[in-house]
Structure 1
């Protein structure tokens, strides 16, 4: 018998007969793996892009196109708009399971506030915030056994006593320096615009570092920049015409501050990367390694200084003056009571402190940047806000002085509240909220299986800024139906306009239609006037909400008290955003007139 007849064709080529079988098996296995990772729509009739369901990368190709424009979150608005629905499926590579995209306010509010036993923070939240602190409570689901202890650690940071006696003072001090610095810039600019973003970015950083670690005012970046400007007047770069912006040199920033901002910014990997933890781990241990080391060294140094100060025999030194002090005093007290050595460098304390800084900085600085644009582009509302401030802080106005911090946070000023709330309704800072179904649930009549991620996009159809689609009451949950009238509805004719008055309601007849006290009598601010989810809702809503309101109220009041925000040239007034950890305005310029 010949070799060919014994081994066949493959044998005549010197190939084992088992090899083709193995190759076929490998191909079948690879094909099965390929098919396994194809998007798998949720059974039922939740709308989705059919083309995306037929490709391995799902909707990621379309999202990538939006990323190139710098506004990838806009995809979520357009996705539901194109599908003509308030609920849809989105397929994100490399996840075979889709997530549910919801743009209807009532159902989103219901999930966050009424159905929190059925929904929790998404695992994607842990992927995002866990990149900067695995022991930070925002990186934990509520059922995580660590969560309760972490919340206990920070529970007093948002109490009225701590906010009014500690946080407010730091905010006011930094805001006062900003007013002084901008007064100097206004004199130099002579009616020309200048960029406001960096100033506001560092103001927010100084505020949160002072609130977190008690950093003295003289060590703040804003104070150092103001002092630097006063020495650099001859180096100010004047613009060619009244429409061109003036530019100012900046003093070098401390390495620790730069590192804190860079580490905070790395959160964007969690938002954009298909493999956030792995992607972030690689970068954290290569190009970001030094920044993370500097961040850790900064926290260690501040904790050590805090312990030394709090245990000092000097009674003036050991008084509480920041969030870190409150945490340390609690730990020192527990250690003494339990007869053990204090664990002042516990991972959860370090991560909670940095998480407090990271989440409090970026969101506030971005929101302040958007607010300056709303002020400049809504002159009538700005003028009315200024009249409200002069009415509410009448003594300060009569004495031609700055309002005190207690006047700002305690005096009733309904139009100030309304103006701020309208800014927060309109701002693009973070328009998404993530949750995860803990069990099989029904959303707008659709069955959604356990483990499905839910993304609520509050700037889509049916959200804060845009009328939605007609949804039959019968498909809504019982809790949604029972709380239908808890929040009002925005008028579809003006829902997209900047209109602070939408947050006000009349309580009695005003004395007259004139200006002064009578203009603001008989009205009150109503937080439930209409759809609003900027801070989320329910037990896992934004932890720092009260601090954010206080910071924005104080800074905005001080700026409007001292300056008139005049319109900037159209070429400097774009409302385009840049997707980072937050949606930052692409252009943030101010053109100011000094008032005091």
Structure 2
């Protein structure tokens, strides 16, 4: 056996002074560790295991994803586990918790009556600021740039602009989309086919038409349709089992669309990261991001230059045909008033135009995918909707033609509005609305420190089921004052029921047809208050036109059980993992 000789100086290494130093280092490490642990706000419920971990609730997100659930489910799950209308979650060492408000009445009070206590906050601004730092979506309302930047878009959501400029472009693009799906429905012969990318192209066509005034020849849908006519040789339907998916070739997006999708994905990815600012700094170095930035700048500037040249050429006869025309005209007018040269290459103008495109495309695509899924899954509601449309446009029905744009804009179809509202409620594109406190405030009896992020849920309690019990005295003075006028909860909220948004007209005898009531119950899909979604008017117009023409032309058949999948994924926007349609010509039904 070999003897191990201990060095003579080994014991001298552990002198009292060295042991004291080691002890001090360990004490400091332990103190830093304790300081880094989550610091719950007193009195607000939370998941106890999360408060004992440096990264708080982040491991819970990983657990949810392992079983096929989306990260945003963390917030609903926390509200469920704590059985409370207010709860908190933890994400990073040394960081404040995020407070979840899952009570619609309290959320409504905070973002409307108490909105001066809140701002968009650093997290929101960093999430969007990594891609669009000069757009007002990345700014607090108190930011001096906010008002100036918002002014460039003042004309874009007026009823006149939407009806006279946006609506004709949307209607034209939608007619081409009907032709595309008519061709695919005929080839598939009652079999299911993928709708996800088709609707992606449609939402892109709609928003670029409204923003840039693109010609039909530049439409993704038109080019897709042409490629199918010239290059696609479908298999005989008899070769594809009735319960199987009928395949069509993929269609590559344009450079601008690819750029929008890449940059929008970056925003979504940053939303799930502990530090959006750091994520963007590193992610923007990737070759795909550099290409997206380059394509975005090049293509948008081409459109800006073309609009500017047309304005200079036509002078007083210049007529705006797209949102960009209004932006260019407003910048030139503002520059003239301020005695400066117009800046038509600015990052601000590019960012405003980009968000108009990206936000409109991404959110509308999400809603469209859920709309067509619900049409196939709800045959009774679909039939009722189609009959409502036939009744609203009797001349078009009698003449076997499409409803004209003027007819759609003038008509009020309560069940159409109710159907759209129900999809937006049940399949909301975003999990919640995030804001940050600018001073210490009290929420449901709990003091929330200044600088704390609040998340107001758009799903879960109140929206999809009963809300948690709340003592009336714990609510704010403004909430109690308007208790009788405040909406409460949808007890049957998990059920798809458009009728919940309809009521008899108010008046003597309560006689007459049902009318659409947007205030029938909790709804925050477009947020509320001063920072309510800027593009909601355009979104509703798009959805009215899309649903009207789809349901008028097609019967959406149920998807075979083997193919039916309602799982969702999310980055910033909720979308279905699978979106298939089975179509039959409704004009021949």
Which TM-score tier does this pair reach, normalised by the shorter chain?
Answer: over 0.9
Partner of 2:5: none
**What is the CA–CA distance in structure 2 between the aligned matches of 1:225 and 1:92, rounded to whole Å?**
44
Secondary structure of the structure 1 residue equivalent to 2:530: helix
Q: Give the Å deviation of 1:17.
A: 9.2
Structure 1 residues 509 and 522, CA gap change in structure 2 (3 angstroms): farther
Q: Give the Å deviation of 1:50.
A: 1.4
Residues 1:180 and 2:179 aligned together: yes
Report the more deviating stretch, 268-277 or 532-541. Answer: 268-277
**What is the CA–CA distance in structure 1 between the aligned matches of 2:263 and 2:290, rounded to whole Å?**
10
1:178–1:203: 8 Å Cα contact kept in structure 2? yes
1:11–1:17: 8 Å Cα contact kept in structure 2? no
Report the more deviating stretch, 347-356 or 531-540. Answer: 347-356
Partner of 1:453: 453
Describe the superposition over 1:388-432 as per-residue Cα deviations: whole angstroms up to 9, x where unpaired: 111111221122211112221221111111111111111141121
Partner of 1:526: 517
Residues 1:562 and 2:561 aligned together: no
**What is the CA–CA distance in structure 1 between the aligned matches of 2:25 and 2:61, rounded to whole Å?**
33
**What is the CA–CA distance in structure 2 between the aligned matches of 1:496 and 1:39, rounded to whole Å?**
34
Structure 1 residues 237 and 467, CA gap change in structure 2 (3 angstroms): farther
Query: How is 1:15-34 mapped onto 2 (pairs within 5 angstroms)?
Result: 24-34=23-33
Secondary structure of the structure 1 residue equivalent to 2:485: coil
Structure 1 residues 571 and 313, CA gap change in structure 2 (3 angstroms): same
Partner of 1:309: 310
**What is the CA–CA distance in structure 2 between the aligned matches of 1:465 and 1:573, rounded to whole Å?**
22
Secondary structure of the structure 1 residue equivalent to 2:545: helix
Q: Give the Å deviation of 1:200.
A: 0.4
Q: State TM-score, norm by structure 2.
A: 0.93
Partner of 1:394: 394
Secondary structure of the structure 2 residue equivalent to 1:534: coil
Name which of 551, 556, 581 aligns with 2:572.
Answer: 581
Q: Give the Å deviation of 1:339.
A: 3.8
Partner of 1:478: 477
Residues 1:125 and 2:142 aligned together: no
Structure 1 residues 94 and 212, CA gap change in structure 2 (3 angstroms): farther
Query: How is 1:231-250 mapped onto 2 (pairs within 5 angstroms)?
Result: 231-235=230-234, 240-250=240-250
Partner of 2:374: 374
Describe the superposition over 1:553-580 as per-residue Cα deviations: whole angstroms up to 9, x where unpaired: 1101110010111111122222110123
1:236–1:248: 8 Å Cα contact kept in structure 2? no
Partner of 2:265: 265
**What is the CA–CA distance in structure 1 between the aligned matches of 2:508 and 2:586, rounded to whole Å?**
29
Residues 1:293 and 2:294 aligned together: yes
Structure 1 residues 476 and 340, CA gap change in structure 2 (3 angstroms): same
Q: Give the Å deviation of 1:57.
A: 0.9
Partner of 1:592: 583
Report the more deviating stretch, 126-135 or 176-185. Answer: 126-135
Structure 1 residues 31 and 256, CA gap change in structure 2 (3 angstroms): same
**What is the CA–CA distance in structure 2 between the aligned matches of 1:509 and 1:240, rounded to whole Å?**
57
Structure 1 residues 78 and 252, CA gap change in structure 2 (3 angstroms): closer
Q: Give the Å deviation of 1:27.
A: 4.0
Secondary structure of the structure 1 residue equivalent to 2:156: helix
Residues 1:228 and 2:227 aligned together: yes
Partner of 2:141: 142
Secondary structure of the structure 2 residue equivalent to 1:100: strand
Structure 1 residues 247 and 469, CA gap change in structure 2 (3 angstroms): same
**What is the CA–CA distance in structure 2 between the aligned matches of 1:292 and 1:300, rounded to whole Å?**
12
2:213–2:321: 8 Å Cα contact kept in structure 1? yes
**What is the CA–CA distance in structure 2 between the aligned matches of 1:369 and 1:102, rounded to whole Å?**
28
Partner of 2:321: 321
Name which of 497, 500, 505 aligns with 1:499.
Answer: 497
Q: State TM-score, norm by structure 1.
A: 0.92
Partner of 1:106: 105
- Aligned-pair RMSD on alpha carbons? 2.3
2:98–2:453: 8 Å Cα contact kept in structure 1? yes
Structure 1 residues 334 and 495, CA gap change in structure 2 (3 angstroms): closer
Q: Give the Å deviation of 1:55.
A: 1.3
2:47–2:81: 8 Å Cα contact kept in structure 1? no
Partner of 1:539: 530
Partner of 1:346: 346
**What is the CA–CA distance in structure 1 between the aligned matches of 2:403 and 2:112, rounded to whole Å?**
37
Describe the superposition over 1:242-280 as per-residue Cα deviations: whole angstroms up to 9, x where unpaired: 111111113332223212211111112221111211112
Partner of 1:466: 465
Structure 1 residues 95 and 467, CA gap change in structure 2 (3 angstroms): farther
2:35–2:94: 8 Å Cα contact kept in structure 1? no
Structure 1 residues 242 and 152, CA gap change in structure 2 (3 angstroms): same
1:508–1:523: 8 Å Cα contact kept in structure 2? no
Secondary structure of the structure 2 residue equivalent to 1:313: helix
Report the more deviating stretch, 158-167 or 85-94. Answer: 85-94
1:91–1:97: 8 Å Cα contact kept in structure 2? yes
Secondary structure of the structure 1 residue equivalent to 2:584: strand
Partner of 1:92: 91
Q: Give the Å deviation of 1:126.
A: 0.7
**What is the CA–CA distance in structure 2 between the aligned matches of 1:70 and 1:79, rounded to whole Å?**
14
Secondary structure of the structure 1 residue equivalent to 2:434: strand
**What is the CA–CA distance in structure 2 between the aligned matches of 1:302 and 1:237, rounded to whole Å?**
43
Q: Give the Å deviation of 1:119.
A: 1.3
Q: How many equivalent residue pairs? A: 576
**What is the CA–CA distance in structure 1 between the aligned matches of 2:71 and 2:177, rounded to whole Å?**
33
1:502–1:529: 8 Å Cα contact kept in structure 2? yes
Secondary structure of the structure 1 residue equivalent to 2:54: coil
Report the more deviating stretch, 65-74 or 482-491. Answer: 482-491
1:438–1:450: 8 Å Cα contact kept in structure 2? yes
1:127–1:276: 8 Å Cα contact kept in structure 2? yes
1:224–1:251: 8 Å Cα contact kept in structure 2? no
Describe the superposition over 1:508-532 as per-residue Cα deviations: whole angstroms up to 9, x where unpaired: 8999xxxxxxxx9521111110111
Describe the superposition over 1:194-247 as per-residue Cα deviations: whole angstroms up to 9, x where unpaired: 111100011101111111122212101111001111113414585621111111
Unaligned runs of 5+ in 2: 1-7
Structure 1 residues 382 and 521, CA gap change in structure 2 (3 angstroms): farther
